[in-house]
Structure 1
Amino acid sequence: MAFKRKNDYIPIRYKLLISYLVLVLTPVIVIGSYSYVSSVNSSEEHARSNLEVAVRQTGSNADYRLADVYRGSEAIFADQALSRILSGYYLDYEKYTIMTQYILPKIESAVNLPNIDTKLSIYLQNNNISEYYYLDRDPKAGERRQYSIYHLDRIENAGWYRTLHLTYQSNVWRQVEGDAAIGRISLLRPIINYDTLSTIGLIRLSVKLEDIFYDVDYTKLGSDSLLFVMDGNKQVLYSSSKTEPSARPVPSGNGFDHPESYLQIVHPIENMDASLVAWIPKSSFQESSRRVGILTILICLASILVLAIISWMMTRFFSKRIMKLIRLMKAFKDGEFNKRMPVPGKDEFSQIGEAFNDMASNMERLIDEVYVSKLEKKDVELQVLHSQMNPHFLYNTFSSISRMAKLGEIETMQEMIRELAKFYRLTLSKGETIISVEKELQIIRSYLDIQRIKYAERIQVRYEIDEAALPYETVKFILQPFVENAIEHAWYDDEIHLVIRASLEGSDIVLQVEDNGLGMKEEMIGRVLDPTEKGIGYGIRNVDQRIKLQFGKTYGVSIQSSIGEGTVATIRFPKRMPKSLGA
């Protein structure tokens, strides 16, 4: 057996102090750690941002030049007239004219690209077109323009051509036939016969990598940085670095050897299956992060000291006010409702003091209200007992029995007497006011059986019962007033149809009585549910009041009705299992 020790008691002052220190120190440590990590990340992000701007601009310049080359190839690819000429058959005396007046002017416009050393080779399936070779040497700029026309059979067995697989809209950048050795790359596009949409040749527009990527300069990123162009196969096409090639990072798998010591930016080149890759050593910006880390630690230590002192002072101040409130609560527990707490200031303790004073002042009023509520509940129970006896219903039933006796309807009379006895046995047994939904439905079935004996086939009843709702408890005798009201006032024709429903809706039980009778106006519905109305709706209001007293004001009775279409009365209350069956 464990015994509570006296020293288990810890004053509220120390509990508050410990709580404050934990609450204060935890954020300081977390914020300090976060600040350090953020500073490192910020430095990296700053470097990354600068890199991205420089790399994006460099990539845009390269894209611009690649687009120039692409537009040059369009002069041949998109020219349908030239396509027809290249597909035609010509006599020997026609070939010179076709070549000089039609083909060569188109080719010259394609290779005439500013500041780009261009070599254009056209490979044709049509061997009727003569092969041609041209080289333009500019004494100031060196070799600038070169173009040739070849028959396609020159390259049909070349490995790079067999794996090319060009389609109608294809444009492929690839290093072929020694391009890599001399620092060039070729744009490869098909020549299309637009009448048959068949491929009749190949355009190869070769340019110097240096002319396309002359703006790729590592010095823009820092003296120890690297900047290079990598193709879709992770091979370096062009690079810029102060180190010798043997000392540079080399491709490996998804990137380069030892990537952890570099910050990497990759920018896709839109007009080529390649990327511009920039690497900057992390050591260039980590030194500033270390200085920030030391400063962060010093600030955290100073903050911890200052906040610990402030926490102790606040704890001492609040503990005094809490102890005063505890003493008043003990007095209140002993029944001294005349005690009051002074409420200086406008802080939370003042609000607690005001709430305490209001609680003491309202206690007597609350006791009175509970007492009155119990009296009202007893009055309602007496009203229910009167409804159960229902002298008017009993008088009418006995009148019917008397009439049947006079007419000699002995069997019908006996059946009505049995049903009447069953009805009152169900309604009066044990004096219960809370019963199961199943028993309430049994009561209304018995009541309707009596009425059906009286009215024969003029009353039609349908039951729509969800058996899952049957075990839950309800206030007794809540359906009969609605059924009685329908039978007495809702007749529209020689027959009346009633529907009795019981169902579950979420955490609620819903009971409904629907008829196809005369219906009511909105004004009449309001009068029926109005507590101040004396002339009509007494039984319905009685049900609504009992539901609210038992289950709360959010539950009760609602009525929907339309003239000539009928009425639906809905009773809603929460699901509660009888105590004998458990929750």
Structure 2
Amino acid sequence: MIKKIKTLFYNLPMMGKLLILLITSSLVPLLIISIYSFTSAKNQLLEQAYENMNHMNQQINNNISSQLDSFHQISGMLYTNATLKAYLTREYKQDIDFVEAYGYINDLFFGLMAANSNVEGITVYVFNDTIPTDGVFIKYLFDPKAAPEWVRALDQSYGNVVYTGITLNDKKERIFSLARIMNFSSLNYPYGVLTISVREEYLYSMIRQESEGKNIYVIDEKGEILSTKNKEQISKNLTEVLGVEVPMGKADGRQVMNIQGKRSLVVFNRMEQGWKTVSIVPLEDILRETRRSASRILLMAGISFTLALLLIVLISRYLTGRMKNLTSQVALIENEDFSRKIEIKGNDEIGQLSQAFNRMTDKLNVLINELYKKEITRRDAELYALQSQINPHFLYNTLSVISSLAIRKGDGEISSIINHLSTFYKTSLNKGMRYITVENELDITRHYLAIQHMRFREHFQESYEVDEKLYPCRTLKLILQPFIENAINHAVCDREEPLHIVIRLYREKEKICFEVEDDGVGIEREKMKRLVSGQPEAGFGIYNVNERIQLAYGSEYGVTVRSTVGKGTNVKITLPL
């Protein structure tokens, strides 16, 4: 896998490599820093929000506890008032008897309410049925069976204060009350129940200022809401309102929870009375500024990355343009064009490379002109020299034939052989050109064999197996004649039956193949080595043809000779198509 990634990276263009470098060195660290900064800021804001909300809850608790203490003091003053106890416990027989009592009670209660404007009402529920009730300050106790829950809780209060839930008074106003049993100096014989009523609005006034942007609830020990901004939620259980239970326990604390589909921070603090203040703020509101800061950071990062990307593109185009210029010059050198020079400004690494390349081009041009062209000239000379070694040798043998015929017969065959000889030289010389068509090469061979038939008569026979589609192809001239000459000279005189020579022409992939095969006496191994190596005593025929072909076409082409003594010889000549 790593190897594939490396290969892919190596094959990328310059711009791709620079972009990967930019992303790796800039974008990834920038994202990591942004995420780390956002996470750190988020944690710090959450911690700060918790501290603020915790402080706010404690302040609210202190204010409420302070007010409740003042109500406790009022209840304590009335509880220990011996005169009030005497009026509430005496037996009244005549109307005139309770006038004095009501005068005292009215003055006392109205005075307390005037001094404490937050008190909505003070009521004593009496057990004494001889005192008439005024329906305001003095009322008869409820039927125990129909009494509210807080009345039943008084039995376990041991004279302490019991807080009622939110109820409605005669004016349909929401109120809560402090209640305690009146049993001063007679614990086993209570004489009434004292209640001090306070409007819920007064309780809410202590949390109103802090309710902006958050939900604040004052709940009792049972979880019922005593005060909050939304008055419809009052007297409902907090779990019912939130749709989820907040595990508060008995201590202060905090929770991050999903409240009505929003991730929210819940902070709760307990009062001495058992009430709790619960503050809830959606995390979105807490982290809004952090998200704005993160967005600004990401925006600046995006702008920076875009600018960096633009610079990378411009720089890569600048660099790749210079590299392409250098590459195009290399391509020209590959095509042997040394006329153009690289014009790259600057003295950086690419500029220095361009200057060095220009100097190398000049030196190559000089070397090619001085050495390569000389080598070509030398090889051309070798080709002509090798070819010229064949013609005089053949001319000598041909003239010998003409001389023998002239001496022996003196007939018209001399004319025929001269005609064949004339055609042979006309085609083979080819006005000094080295290359002829395959068809012309075969014509030369046919004329040569016609001349040899006049010398050897019926001592040899030839046949042709040729692909005429290859006739238009070009070849070096005089590549078949030396091998046919060897077959005739070394095989005809050594046998009584006619020698069979087969001349083949065919295509083998992208090669032209000639074959000269005979059924003569064959060539011994040692003599074969001398023929192939071109030793003078063995003759130059095979060596010359092979050397000419390889000089002209390359070492992968040439002559292959296979011979078996007593069975014959096969010569295969391969040329490029």
Does TM-score exceed 0.5, indicating one fold? Answer: no
TM-score (norm 1): 0.40
Please say which structure displays the higher CA radius of gyration: 2
